[in-house]
Amino acid sequence: MSVRSESSLGDRIRELRKRSGLSQEDLASAIRLDRTVVNKIENGLRKVTALELADIALALDARMTQFFEDPTPALVSHRSSQGLDTADSRIDSILASIASDVEFVQSLEVNELTFNDLPASRTPPTTIKDAEDLARHARELMNLPLDEPINDLVDSVSRLGLLAFSEDIGPDTADAGTILLRHGGACLVNSHAKVGRRRLALAHELGHYLIADEYTIDWRVDNHSDQSVPLESRLDFFARALLLPGKAVTALWDEFSSAGDARSAAIRIASKFRVDMATLARRLRELGVVDGDAAAQIRIARTTHADMIDFGLHVPIEELTGTSIPRIYALAVLRLVREERISRERALDLMRGTFPEADLPDVRQRRADEIWNFVA
């Protein structure tokens, strides 16, 4: 945490106010000050008292530490490229908060969030073959079989230092976003979508992370044409190849379709690899397994309860549902609570509402004579 001048503190207050969608008038009203006073504070022309700063933090739904923490380099670069007066999107605001939380926990040097740096030379895929090779390489980096479903994608990407969080930020907004941290990265997936779509979004964000895109917010993953956004199209292909390895999917299609119709084969494969039908249809088309008409029929297929019984399918625990945090991040926070390095209140804040206070580890009961350990 750094000491800030009135000018830099004012800049941080302005930034957090804009992220909250408040005008200077709104903030002034909330903290019972004149708008001109808020203007002077933000421009570094007036000192702000500790009590006023506490009121500002409450009005902006921010922690006091956020006024003094240095943002991640990727966040600074992103904000600069967007222009100082650009209002941040909802996902941008949440990502900034997540990045702050993760870097705070990392600053306490917990083993769970200590990551090895990935190879420095990460070239963006420029061809379909490049994207396919990157998907294969990603599985190798995560120590996953090349031809099996990725059952726990959140846990798998965390092995590479990418921490995947989720929150429902509603329809008609971004699918996901990723920010590179000083160590590793943080990803936010919009949990409003169904599980197959969420997993595809996370796979796509892994692609951004592997090629070291410092800050990305993706709208409508898997909805790019090859001509309009070449890199995004390659990363869409990467995501499908990662979740649906070609040889395994082709072999299963041959096996299942020979024993039944195309619809039942698609349902069994989509369930096994935990993807949505649109993703499966496009991947089968890419692999040359089905034609355009068959792909269109697969795209609109829906799995029914009867299908679940007929094919012996099971419903796994859904990933990235509602507000969720990665397991290794939760383990790190719990370790800090047990070691009494953070308060229970701070832990609940870091857990982002996913953990009830009653389930936090109990604070160790101290003996009365332990006070002498702290007396010189």
Give pLDDT tens digits for 204-227. 999 999 998 888 888 777 766 655
Q: What is the β-pairing status of strands 215-218 and 176-180?
A: antiparallel
- List all residues 6 or more positions away from 366 whose beta carbon is below 8 Å from its beta carbon: none
Tell me the average pLDDT across 16-34. 87
Higher pLDDT, 49 or 15: 49
Q: What is 264-275 written as a DSSP string?
A: HHHHHHHHHHT-
Evaluate if residue 79 carries a pLDDT over 70.
no
Tell me the average pLDDT across 104-122. 83
Is the separation of the CB atoms in 207 and 237 below 8 Å? no
Evaluate if residue 2 carries a pLDDT over 60.
no
| C-alpha to C-alpha distance for 241 and 246, rounded to whole angstroms | 7
pLDDT at position 261 is: 87
Evaluate if residue 22 carries a pLDDT over 60.
yes
| Listed range (8-12, 127-131, 196-200) with the worst mean pLDDT | 8-12
Higher pLDDT, 315 or 150: 150
- The mean of the pLDDT values for the chain is 86
> 235-244 pLDDT, tens per residue?
999 999 999 9
Match 């870097």 to its residue by tokens: 103
Query: What homologous superfamily does CATH list for 1-70?
Result: lambda repressor-like DNA-binding domains (1.10.260.40)
Is the separation of the CB atoms in 69 and 58 below 8 Å? no
Task: Supply the pTM of this predicted model.
Answer: 0.82
- What are the extents of the domains in the chain? 1-70
Residue 4, both tokens? 């800030």
Tell me the average pLDDT across 135-161. 95
pLDDT at position 4 is: 57
Evaluate if residue 354 carries a pLDDT over 90.
yes
Residue 252, both tokens? 């299963």
- List all residues 6 or more positions away from 234 whose beta carbon is below 8 Å from its beta carbon: 124, 125, 126, 127, 128, 130, 131, 207
Higher pLDDT, 365 or 255: 255
| C-alpha to C-alpha distance for 201 and 176, rounded to whole angstroms | 6
